[in-house]
Structure formats: C-alpha cells, structure tokens
C-alpha cells in the first residue's frame, strides 16, 4: 500500500462531503495541506479521483470505485483501536451472539443488561441474522451462540439448545381491517385472508410451526408475500398488504398501524438459545448462567 492513512482520511472526507472546504473543517485541517494530500494520492494511484470546477467538486468513476473499496478501512481501524483500549483495561473476553428480531423483547434486553453488570470485562457483539444462518455460523465457529427462535426440525450435530423464553403466537392485522373488531380470533377465522410470512428458507422451524397450526385449523394459509425477517413482515402488515402470525413480542415494535389479536387456541412458541456442545469457554458459561 503506497498511500498513507492520512491521505486515505483526506480522500474519504472529500468523497463524502464533496467539498474541500467542508472536508478540511471536518478534519480540523487547513485546506492547502488537504489538497496536497489528495494530489499526492492521485499521483500514487495514477488517476484523478475528483473533478474540480470552480466551487464544484464531483467524484470520478475511478474515485467512486476507490471509495467503495476503502470506505470500511477507517471504521475498522477505529474498532481495532477501541478493542485494544478495552484489552488494556482488562476487557479482553468477547461473545459473538446472533439473534432474530422476533425474539428481541424486554426479557432478552434485561438478560444482556444483567450479564453486562456482573461481567463488565466481557464484550457482547450482536448480529441480527436469520435462524438458518445462525446455525451455520455456530457450527462453523463464527458465532458463539444464538437466539434462533424455535429449535430446528432436523438434527443439528454439535449444537445444543436451551429453552429460555415462551410466548404466544398472535395474529397481526392492519388497522381498519374488519378482523380488528374481534377481541380474540380462532385460527379458522383467518382461512380466507392473505398472509405475509417469514420465509421458510430463513426460519424453517417457525414456518413449519405456523403451517402445522393452520393445518389443524382446517386450512392452508394463502401466502402472498414473504420476508426473511419478522420485523419486515410486521411492516408489510402495517402497510395493509395482509395479515401475519408472529410471536407476541414483535407487537411492541409496531405502532398503531398494526393491531395484535390473541388466538383462541393459544399456540405457544418456545424460544431456544443455541450453542456448540462440549465444555463451553468461561465467558459462555457465565452467559448461560445469566440466561438461566
């Protein structure tokens, strides 16, 4: 790498501000040295990165490609510095955990808070990832564990599951829909409705669970739209595209555009936490105790 981090910092500022004046102000740097850094970088790369016409600055095709490829470098260096700082303070342990929006409720947030209070030296990194991807990442060692929702329908060698939360399945209905006059709904009441669903490829266990409950009620749901994320499904309900069957905890994320209606059958979802089998590392052991 022939160019310096200072040159990259100057380039990034100009690329995002599209103004040498604003970029210099952002970097607390005089404009002449900023311009010199840009010219030096262009000479090293052998191409022009910006078109300068009087007071107008535009990024060239080459400059835009260079920006897309380098835009993550500076934030990554910032994160590395932060990790080094925390390591110097004794905060060296790290847990990489997955979760899905459908399980993000007050109990889970409280679990993270309690764990952080009792184990301040352990850093928790959260990744919003669909259940199927979480399981692959856990098996490959890319995640230490994950809140995947329902346990998988098929065996998952090398992974064990702990039930940590149970909640009812509910119907989400757009505001103004005729069904909102009901205080409770039977699943059979939904037989003629258009459904929005969490994609089976993203959450196969949850999709099977919903399909089975509908089958027992005597119908197969007419799914017109799908999304890998429950939150997106709820947003599409709010837009009036159809109804959905989702965990109750998702309802608190939505505003008045979506009405949550309990089901008479009271189907219950058991959410599980997945992690690799065998003796867990100390940070995971502590987290499992907090989860229990």
Q: How confident is the model at residue 267 (pLDDT cuts 50, 70, 90)?
A: very high
Contact 31, 21 (CB under 8 A): yes
Q: Is the pLDDT of residue 158 over 80?
A: yes
**pLDDT-wise least confident of 30-44, 120-134, 182-196:** 120-134
Q: How confident is the model at residue 217 (pLDDT cuts 50, 70, 90)?
A: very high
**pLDDT-wise least confident of 54-58, 79-83, 187-191:** 79-83
| Encoded tokens for 238 | 């709010």
Q: State which residues form the domain around 226.
A: 166-268
Q: Is the pLDDT of residue 128 over 80?
A: yes
The residue assigned the tokens 């429950």 is: 230
Identify each DSSP E strand in 14-158 by its residue range.
50-53, 56-59, 93-99, 122-128, 145-149
Mean pLDDT for all residues in the chain:
89
**pLDDT-wise least confident of 17-21, 102-106, 155-159, 222-226:** 102-106
Together in a domain, 40 and 102 = no
Q: Give the model's pLDDT for residue 90.
A: 56
Of 77, 112, 138, the last residue of a domain is 77
Contact 153, 106 (CB under 8 A): no
Collapse the DSSP code of 145 into the 3-class scheme (helix H, G, I; strand E, B; otherwise coil) and give the result.
strand
Q: Is the pLDDT of residue 111 over 90?
A: no
Contact 185, 179 (CB under 8 A): yes
For the segment 84-104, the average pLDDT, to the nearest whole number, is 75
Give one DSSP letter per residue of 151-216, joined into a string: PPSS--TTEEEEEEEEEEEEEEEETT-GGGG-SSB-GGGGTTSEEEEE-TTT-HHHHHHHHHHHHH
Q: How confident is the model at residue 88 (pLDDT cuts 50, 70, 90)?
A: low
Residue 31 domain-assigned (yes or no): yes
In sequence order, the β-bridge partners of residue 135 are: none
**pLDDT-wise least confident of 60-74, 75-89, 211-225, 232-246:** 75-89
Together in a domain, 146 and 171 = no
The CATH number for 235's domain is 3.40.190.290
Together in a domain, 249 and 189 = yes
Q: Is the pLDDT of residue 84 over 80?
A: no
Together in a domain, 141 and 280 = yes
Residue 87 domain-assigned (yes or no): no
> Each residue of 231-266: pLDDT tens digit?
899 999 999 999 999 999 887 767 788 999 999 999
> Which helix (H) or strand (E) covers residue 258, if one does?
strand 258-262
Together in a domain, 62 and 126 = no
Distance CA 229, CA 247 (A): 12
For the chain, the domain total comes to: 3
The CATH number for 11's domain is 1.10.10.10
| Encoded tokens for 58 | 């535009």
State the helix-helix crossing angle for 282-291 and 106-118, rounded to 10 degrees. 130
Q: Is the pLDDT of residue 91 over 90?
A: no
Question: Which has the higher per-residue pLDDT, 292 or 201?
Answer: 201
Q: How confident is the model at residue 92 (pLDDT cuts 50, 70, 90)?
A: low
Contact 26, 13 (CB under 8 A): yes
Q: Is the pLDDT of residue 83 over 80?
A: no
| Encoded tokens for 223 | 């799914």
Contact 229, 202 (CB under 8 A): yes
Name the pTM for this structure.
0.65
| Encoded tokens for 117 | 């209070």
**pLDDT-wise least confident of 82-86, 134-138, 236-240:** 82-86
The neighbour count for residue 158, using CB atoms within 10 Å, is 10
Tally of CA atoms within 13 A in the half-sphere of 171 that contains its CB? 31
Together in a domain, 199 and 264 = yes
The neighbour count for residue 206, using CB atoms within 10 Å, is 26
Residue 33 domain-assigned (yes or no): yes
- Start-to-end Cα distance in the chain: 49
């Amino acid at each position: 790498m022939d160019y310096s981090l200072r040159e990259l910092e100057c380039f990034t500022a100009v690329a995002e501000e599209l103004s040498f004046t604003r970029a210099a102000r952002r970097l607390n740097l005089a404009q002449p040295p900023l311009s010199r850094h840009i010219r030096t970088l262009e000479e090293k790369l052998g191409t022009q990165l910006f078109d300068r016409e009087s007071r107008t600055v535009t990024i060239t095709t080459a400059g835009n490609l260079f920006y897309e490829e380098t835009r993550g470098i500076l934030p990554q260096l910032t994160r590395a510095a932060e990790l080094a700082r925390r390591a110097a303070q004794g905060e060296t342990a790290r847990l990489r955990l997955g979760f899905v929006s459908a399980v993000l409720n007050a109990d889970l947030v409280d679990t993270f808070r309690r764990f952080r209070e009792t184990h301040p030296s352990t850093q928790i990194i959260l990744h919003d990832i669909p259940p199927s991807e979480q399981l692959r990442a856990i098996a490959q060692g890319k995640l230490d564990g994950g809140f995947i929702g329902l346990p998988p329908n098929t065996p998952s060698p090398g992974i064990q599951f702990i039930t940590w939360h149970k909640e009812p399945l509910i119907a989400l209905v757009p505001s103004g829909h005729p069904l909102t006059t009901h205080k409770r709904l039977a699943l059979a009441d939904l037989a003629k409705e258009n459904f929005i669903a969490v994609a089976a490829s993203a959450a196969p266990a949850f999709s099977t669970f919903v399909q089975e409950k509908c089958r027992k009620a005597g119908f197969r749901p007419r799914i017109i739209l799908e999304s890998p994320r429950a939150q997106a499904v709820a947003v599409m309900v709010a837009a009036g595209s159809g109804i959905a069957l989702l965990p109750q905890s998702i309802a608190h994320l939505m505003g008045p555009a979506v009405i949550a209606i309990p089901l008479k059958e009271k189907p219950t979802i058991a959410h599980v936490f997945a992690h690799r089998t065998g003796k867990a590392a100390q940070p995971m052991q502590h987290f499992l105790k907090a989860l229990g």
